[in-house]
Amino acid sequence: MTSDLSRAADDLDWRRAAACANLPQHSVFARVPSDAEPVLRACNQCPIRTECEVVVDPAHTFFDGVSGGRLWRNGREVKRPPASASGQAER
C-alpha cells in the first residue's frame, strides 16, 4: 500500500514544478481567456510546459483550462486575438 501512495506522490511531483502551482485553481481551469491570463503568462516561463500538455492530453480528455501554455475548452484550443489586435480594439 505504501508503494502505491509513494508512486502516486511521485506522479504528482511534476505539478509542483509548474509555474502555475501557486495560482488559483479557478484561473488554471478557466474557460475564458481573460480569466486564464495569469496562468497563460506563467506558462511562458514554465519549466514543464511541454510535459504538462503531454500529461493532461487536452485533445483526448476534453480538458477545460490551461495546459502547455494554451487555453482549452472541451479539448479544443481557444484561439486568442494577437496582443496588438486587442490593444487596437481598446483605442
User: Tens of pLDDT along 16-27?
Assistant: 889 999 999 999
Residues 6+ apart with CB under 8 A from 35: 26, 27
How confident is residue 10, by pLDDT bands cut at 50, 70 and 90? Answer: low
The count of residues in the chain is 91
The answer to whether 26 and 38 are in contact (CB under 8 A) is: no
CA 40 to chain centre: 7
Greater pLDDT, 50 or 9: 50
Q: What is the distance between the alpha carbons of residues 61 and 55, in angstroms, rounded to a whole number? A: 10
Q: What is the pLDDT of residue 91?
A: 39
pLDDT in tens, 44-91: 999 999 999 999 999 999 999 999 999 999 999 998 777 655 454 443
